[in-house]
Structure 1
Amino acid sequence: MKGFLELGKILGIKIEIHWTFALLLIWIGLVEFENSGNLEKVIISQGLILVLMACVVLHELGHAFMARKFNIKTNSIILLPIGGVATLDEIPKKPKQELLIALAGPTVNIIITLILALVIPLRSYFNFDTVLIDEQLYEPTFQNLLFYLFIANLMLVIFNLIPAFPMDGGRVLRALLSFRLSRVEATNIASGIAQGLAILFFIVGLLFNPFLVLIAFFIFFGAYGENQMVKQYSILEGHIAKEATLTNITLLNLTTKLEEVIELVLTSSEKDFVVFDNQQVEGVLYQKKIIENAQSRSLLVGDILDKSVGFIDADTPITEVLERMQKEKNNFFPVTENGEIIGAIDRSNISEFILLKST
């Protein structure tokens, strides 16, 4: 994914980090050095961030492993400066599944917190001598690092269990409501509560802490996006790919020149093309490939098409088509019926289908 660096894989799950994490480390390092002027403390603060990042990975792995119990795969874990995201192959549709998957992440942090509580002499940090506490916390010791990690994991639990999308608490709330209500109704209520909390955070943030304003925007638009997605999926329920298939498409063959394809792109609304030769589909020529090779117009379609593309059966539910598009990061598929190609389906046409059905 653009802007992300792959750190590796854990049991087949890609761990990716956004480049802005480097800015976070630099900023925290500069702030710490300005406040203390102590290089050792700067190194410890950087170490704390990296260890906390590992805790976030464990949190997301908790979601991933619980999802695996319900045969839901996790493509990747994405680390952002504001937290982590586990990208699942599909959305858990049963309330019990969503509840357990949502709770699995915070449970990992609770376990880490309990382990640290057994290792750290917590009583020494909780006394009424604030001057002594400040002096103790200011010392760059390994014990203090563990204490900060204890507090950070405790805060992760509290923050993630706020009953607001896109945090785990919002999903827990929706799952509990879904035992009695439809998923659409449950999501609508949960997102309404989330946006109400976001407005509260925004007001408090303006008065006391600007960081809460950032969280407010994160919650408000995250809740809005979740609500819209669930509504769209509910509109698509009961509809199949054939209903949203583009039937008036241009079929290219292997010997079509790229120059002709560019002319088609400029004079029509088509961006991606099905390549058809000898009465069978050979692959797809994507807009990205057309743009990449635009300076080599003498190339043939057969030289640059993607042959690894699968098909969508005309009777496939559109919700499954969307899930496949997300899973394979591909927004365009040829559609077949009884073994014959009848057109293609793409994300933009599905969006138009949703708009027409929602009016």
Structure 2
Amino acid sequence: MSANLKLGKYYGTEVQLHWTFFLLVVWVVLSEVLSGASIDRVLFNLQFILAVMICVLLHEVGHLLTAKKIGIKTTKMVLLPVGGISTVEKSTQSPKEELLITLSGPLVNIIIAIILFFAIPVSDYISYDLGQYFTALNDFSVRTFLFFLFIVNVALAVFNMIPAFPLDGGRILRAVLDIKLSRVKATRVATMISHVIAIVLLLIGLLFNPILLFLSLFLLIGSFSENRVVQHIDLLKGYSVKDAMLKNITVFDPDDTMEEIIRVILRGSETNFVVVEDKKIVGLLYHKDIIKNSDNRTLKVRDLMTTTFKTMETEENLSAAYILMQDEIHPFFPVIEKNELIGAIDFDNLHEFLLMEDRLKY
């Protein structure tokens, strides 16, 4: 189960708050309490974290609306303190479109910062000396709140322009390189640059600031993941779902029992199953649900199966299926042709297909 908090759906996109936001709240409260801060200061900081979360959300909405205008649907958005990570149904192959989508996020923060710059106004704070800034830290006025929010939006825009995946700057770098190189090569070069930046941050973090160690890890994992996904999508070009699907699958009837399910699992390698009634797919049986209820051998399939599911067509693009599976809790889909079940596809089988293709190509 994900530790992220689901905030609901907006424009058809599931929005989640990453668990690190809760960690940030705990860290702020504990540090303030241990330092003997007043209740007013603690509440001020908690309200400020909420405001930062809203700014991050608006940043991601900028990406979302631009992608939607281009024709790319965002299925999920995860908000982190430093930005967000979005999952799309298909990735754009156009450098121009990627630039437009990517720049729209930092642009939102810049617009917020410009509005705040004149609303506060920020020019009053520019002439402050160090002592005055320290005094401002203990001023819980709306004006001070907005000034720090201005700083955060500038920081979000600048930070996200660092040329490293999975930050916006890494995607901008890839889009620029993609004008001259292929997408795979552009991603590979951008990933190498991301790794260099991550290693530099790692060394600085070891010497000065441990927080940079987490940032370095974030960049390393994000860049590795982005490069792998792009390589996999490239390998799957020209293939359809029927090329990688499981053909000889076991199906169950809603009235079959747990005893029969366990018997099939023990004698074979299948773990997830399609449930069919009168030649119609009515549900799916997932391995985790089978294990959870395995002590009740008389339990019927209809009481165990999941009735909300997606199917795939045999001629569906395999790279599109791969992208869809990336974000599924249960990456297992019945495969149909002319509304008739002819097989299934799961991530394990698709991964094996990728391994075979990778060896052939490289």
TM-score of the pair, normalised by structure 1: 0.92
Report the Cα distance in structure 1 between the residues aligned to 2:168 and 2:344, rounded to whole angstroms. Answer: 37
- Residue 87 of structure 2: SS of its match in structure 1? strand
The equivalent residue for 1:52 is: 52
Alignment-mate amino acid for residue 32 of structure 1: E
Which consecutive residues of structure 1, in runs of 5 or more, have no partner in the other structure?
none
- Residue 288 of structure 1: SS of its match in structure 2? helix
Question: Percent identity among equivalent residues?
Answer: 41
Alignment-mate amino acid for residue 25 of structure 2: L
Of the structure 1 ranges 178-187 and 283-292, higher mean CA displacement relative to structure 2 is found in 283-292
The equivalent residue for 1:215 is: 215
Per-residue deviation, 1:327: 6.1
**Aligned residue-pair number:** 359
The equivalent residue for 1:274 is: 274
The equivalent residue for 1:158 is: 158
The equivalent residue for 2:69 is: 69
The equivalent residue for 1:297 is: 297
Alignment-mate amino acid for residue 202 of structure 2: F
Per-residue deviation, 1:301: 2.2
Distance 1:76 1:324, change over 3 A: closer
The equivalent residue for 1:180 is: 180
- Residue 335 of structure 1: SS of its match in structure 2? strand
Alignment-mate amino acid for residue 254 of structure 2: L
The equivalent residue for 1:342 is: 342
Report the Cα distance in structure 2 between the residues aligned to 1:174 and 1:137, rounded to whole angstroms. Answer: 40
The equivalent residue for 2:259 is: 259
Alignment-mate amino acid for residue 221 of structure 1: I
Distance 1:288 1:166, change over 3 A: same
Report the Cα distance in structure 2 between the residues aligned to 1:177 and 1:312, rounded to whole angstroms. Answer: 34
The equivalent residue for 1:97 is: 97
Report the Cα distance in structure 2 between the residues aligned to 1:310 and 1:216, rounded to whole angstroms. Answer: 37
Alignment-mate amino acid for residue 90 of structure 1: K
The equivalent residue for 2:80 is: 80
Report the Cα distance in structure 2 between the residues aligned to 1:303 and 1:135, rounded to whole angstroms. Answer: 64
CA contact (8 A) 2:233 2:322 kept: no
Per-residue deviation, 1:329: 4.7
Of the structure 1 ranges 103-112 and 83-92, higher mean CA displacement relative to structure 2 is found in 83-92
Deviations 1:150-201, CA, capped at 9 Å, x for gaps: 1111100110000100001101111111122111011001111010000111
The equivalent residue for 1:120 is: 120
Distance 1:36 1:346, change over 3 A: same
Report the Cα distance in structure 1 between the residues aligned to 2:123 and 2:283, rounded to whole angstroms. Answer: 66
Report the Cα distance in structure 2 between the residues aligned to 1:3 and 1:136, rounded to whole angstroms. Answer: 36
Which consecutive residues of structure 2, in runs of 5 or more, have no partner in the other structure?
none
Deviations 1:68-107, CA, capped at 9 Å, x for gaps: 1012222233223443223322222221221111111100
TM-score of the pair, normalised by structure 2: 0.92
**What's the Cα RMSD here?**
2.1
CA contact (8 A) 2:271 2:286 kept: yes
1:9-28 correspondence to structure 2 within 5 Å: 9-28=9-28
Alignment-mate amino acid for residue 179 of structure 1: I
The equivalent residue for 2:333 is: 333
The equivalent residue for 2:358 is: 358
Of the structure 1 ranges 299-308 and 313-322, higher mean CA displacement relative to structure 2 is found in 299-308
- Residue 248 of structure 2: SS of its match in structure 1? coil
The equivalent residue for 2:283 is: 283
CA contact (8 A) 2:334 2:344 kept: yes
Report the Cα distance in structure 1 between the residues aligned to 2:293 and 2:12, rounded to whole angstroms. Answer: 33
Distance 1:36 1:306, change over 3 A: closer
- Residue 193 (structure 1) aligned with residue 193 (structure 2): yes
Alignment-mate amino acid for residue 256 of structure 1: D
Report the Cα distance in structure 2 between the residues aligned to 1:195 and 1:65, rounded to whole angstroms. Answer: 30
Per-residue deviation, 1:282: 3.8
